């Protein structure tokens, strides 16, 4: 039996209290939905800087009666009191709240630092004081920076290429210090290009897959930065849920203070991604049969290639991602078409 299936079955008959920060965002809302569907009590915190009320409304529709196990608090983790109140009686923390996007951080590094570093420190301090069983936080593949080695192995990183990458690296440093100094049970997860339902296709900082889907469906232009041979390790949201649950419930104390890649462990170029999306949509949108992308210069701060080694996560947690980019897109494109 896959470890994730075993842990999922465990949750259905063993109720715990979870804090999900950023619960109205893309990843946070999917984690919240999964936990509620598996008999868990969820405390959700979001300041709606990037999260949306409509995501919470959608969770309510998906989980039915389990919605009564959800308790929402609108607030910002930069406020220590918000953190303290949210952590009351919590067993596990899944910390997703952050200001993402490399371009956004380049435009305004101060606000990114305030949310991603100050907020993070507030939360882990209060979590330590509250005595949580496990604290799992979202880091990023951007931490690898200008490291050229492929696949990316957790212990080898380069120089950060953006303020956003710096904030995530600082999170990892604080996490390791909190484990070594306070024996705090904390684990970091480096996400690699996550995609799936509830990912916002709108705005200047929208992720590539929903942005392209919306553009193709609406007969708008698609821009590829560079020559299209830039590659990413795209990771479907259900793989991310698996990784978070495994990291939280693992009793392997040697994982404390460590970070782990969360990906499918494969590379897809932007040119190939464009074709996959186009082929997946063309039956619904016949105009795409002759649709071509526009190429522009590389953007500052972007990593050229991203490809994760997931051996460490498999060894420590039994992480075995089920969804390739093709399998994930099969589900995701249906959702995007119904919701864009």
Residues with a known catalytic role:
164
Regarding beta strands 223-225 and 194-195, do their DSSP bridges make them parallel or antiparallel, or are they unpaired?
A: unpaired
Q: Which two tokens stand for residue 35?
A: 């936990």
Contact 49, 77 (CB under 8 A): no
Q: Which stretch of DSSP H or E encloses residue 72? A: strand 70-74
Contact 36, 63 (CB under 8 A): yes
**Which one-letter DSSP state was computed for residue 299?**
P
CA distance 101 to 108: 11
Contact 260, 312 (CB under 8 A): yes
| Neighbouring C-beta atoms of residue 108, cutoff 10 Å | 12
Residues in the chain, how many? 340
Q: Which two tokens stand for residue 77?
A: 């983790």
Chain Cα centroid distance, residue 331:
18
């Amino acid at each position: 039996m896959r470890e994730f299936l075993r842990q999922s079955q465990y949750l259905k008959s063993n109720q715990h209290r979870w804090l999900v920060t950023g619960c109205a965002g893309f990843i946070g809302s999917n984690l919240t939905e999964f936990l509620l569907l598996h008999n868990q009590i969820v405390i959700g915190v979001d300041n709606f800087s990037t999260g949306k009320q409509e995501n919470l409304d959608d969770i309510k529709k998906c989980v039915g009666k389990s919605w009564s196990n959800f308790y929402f608090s609108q607030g910002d983790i930069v406020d220590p009191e918000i953190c303290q109140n949210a952590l009351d009686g919590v067993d596990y923390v899944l910390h997703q709240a952050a200001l993402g996007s490399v371009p956004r951080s380049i435009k305004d590094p101060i606000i990114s630092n305030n949310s991603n570093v100050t907020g993070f420190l507030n939360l882990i301090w209060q979590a330590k004081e509250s005595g949580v069983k496990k604290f799992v936080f979202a880091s990023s593949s951007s931490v690898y920076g200008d490291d050229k080695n492929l696949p990316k192995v957790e212990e080898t990183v380069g120089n950060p290429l953006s303020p956003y990458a710096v904030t995530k690296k600082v999170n990892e440093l604080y996490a390791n210090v909190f484990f070594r100094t306070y024996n705090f049970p904390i684990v970091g997860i480096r996400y690699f290009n996550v995609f799936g339902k509830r990912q916002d296709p709108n705005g200047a900082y929208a992720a590539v897959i929903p942005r392209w889907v919306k553009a193709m469906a609406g007969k708008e232009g698609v821009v590829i930065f560079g020559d299209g041979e830039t590659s990413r390790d795209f990771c479907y949201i259900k793989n991310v849920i698996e990784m978070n649950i495994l990291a939280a419930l693992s009793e392997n104390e040697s994982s404390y203070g460590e970070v782990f890649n969360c990906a499918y462990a494969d590379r897809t170029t932007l040119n190939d991604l464009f074709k996959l999306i186009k082929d997946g949509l063309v039956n619904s949108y016949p105009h795409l049969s002759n649709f071509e992308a526009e190429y522009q210069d590389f953007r500052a701060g972007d990593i050229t290639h991203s490809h994760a080694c997931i051996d460490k996560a498999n060894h420590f947690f039994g992480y075995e991602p089920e969804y390739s980019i093709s399998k994930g897109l099969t589900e995701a494109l249906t959702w995007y078409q119904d919701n864009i």
